[in-house]
Amino acid sequence: MNADLLTVRVERRDNEAEGICSYELVSADGTPLPAFTAGAHIDVHVAPGLVRQYSLCNPPHERHRYVIGVLRDPASRGGSQAMHEQIRAGAALTISAPRNHFPLVNAPRSVLLAGGIGITPLLAMAETLSSQGAQFALHYCTRSPERTAFRDRLLSAPYAAQVRFHHDSVQPLDLPALLAGLERDTHIYFCGPAGFIDHVKASAAAAGWPPEQLHLEYFGAAAAVPIDGDQPFEVKLKSSGKCYTIPPGVTVLRVLNDAGVFVPASCEQGVCGTCLTRVLDGVPDHRDLYLTEAEQAANDIFAPCCSRSKTASLLLDL
């Protein structure tokens, strides 16, 4: 087994809200789990060939358990469905050690904006900021109270007074008004589905918020969805000189894997960065949600699990 992989046991599973379960994972041999920081996630090997990323939402000082929250997503390609249907208390799971692409930075004050199940990394951040005595507020947007996971935990947390719930069905968050009332040195962390992220990004841009004070993580992604008008293109591998045609609706990753060219991958949705591959020639059509705008604009790296090509061919450093 890969040295970075761990075997854990599901100690308990709880229904947190409509369609959302939490899973408490403990080490199978009783040894402390690897330490993590707020914003970290683990890969969960849900079933053979099915690996999904879930943020850790328990207090980061804990070493005896990891807690994840899983939304049963109707658009799921199998991951959340399998978690909900097959993974019960007592089950053994293979996971990766925690990795953090969404860390807290030193800031005079912070605002955490959660959209739905995007609450999970922000819960760990709230725990950390609270334990540091930092100035922060958490705004948690959900469709309705019934779909608000971890509500009891938040209401009884030491930082409960810094939490505001916003329900689309009652009174949605007025983001421009919130931004207008913030100190300009506030760092904003936001996590949620693509529509929520886009809304926060657009509102922050309209308010002239400094981009370096915005920190985001997508939950789920529509990145791999084919777009009408997609054209076939070629990828050429530097090492072998071999060329492969990528038809519309099929990913570069799939074509290469089918041809026996191994490219490491995990989420296959453009959110984890595992498959990033150097581009030596040609212009990628970036569809991932992982690279920053500047990294995408450099056009020297792309995510073959979802991105395509703007040019007739791409030369890859493979």
Cα 274 to Cα 306: distance, rounded to the nearest angstrom: 12
The nearer residue to ligand FES, 106 or 292, going by C-beta atoms, is 292
Q: Pick from 60, 79, 270, 282: which binds ligand FES (CB under 6 A)?
A: 270
Phi, psi at 125, each rounded to 5°: -65, -40
25 contacts 55 by C-beta, under 8 angstroms: no
Least separation in angstroms between CB 12 and ligand FES: 29
CA nearest neighbour of 142 among 174, 172, 179: 172
Q: Which of the ranges 82-90, 131-139, 205-213, 273-281 carries the binding residues for ligand FES, by CB under 6 A?
A: 273-281
Cβ 86 to ligand FES shortest distance, Å: 23
If binding means CB under 6 A, how many residues of this protein chain bind ligand FES? 14
Q: Smallest distance, Å, CB 170 to ligand FES?
A: 36
Q: Is 96 or 203 the residue whose CB approaches ligand FES more closely?
A: 96
Asked if residue 268 binds ligand FES (CB under 6 A), the reply is yes
261 binds ligand FES (CB under 6 A): no
Part of the chain binding ligand FES (CB under 6 A), chosen from 66-74, 170-178, 205-213, 260-268: 260-268
In terms of CB distance, is 111 or 267 closer to ligand FES? 267
Question: For residue 147, which phi and psi values (nearest 5 degrees)?
Answer: -105, 20
Q: Which residues pair with 54 in a beta bridge?
A: 42
46 binds ligand FES (CB under 6 A): no
CA 187, 191, 194, 199 torsion: positive or negative?
negative
Residue 273 in contact with ligand FES, rule: CB under 6 A: yes
Q: Does 303 bind ligand FES (CB under 6 A)?
A: yes
Q: What are the residue ranges of helices labelled H in the chain?
A: 79-86, 119-131, 151-155, 175-180, 194-206, 252-258, 293-298
User: Can residue 305 be called a binding residue for ligand FES (CB under 6 A)?
Assistant: yes
Exposed (0-12), middle (13-18) or buried (19+): which is 74, by Cβ within 10 Å?
A: exposed
- The alpha carbons of the chain give a radius of gyration, in whole angstroms, of 20
CA-wise closest residue to 42 among 75, 18, 77, 7: 7
Looking at the Cβ atoms of 44 and 265, the one nearer to ligand FES is 265
Could you list the residues that contact ligand FES (CB under 6 A)?
A: 265-268, 270-275, 288, 290, 303, 305
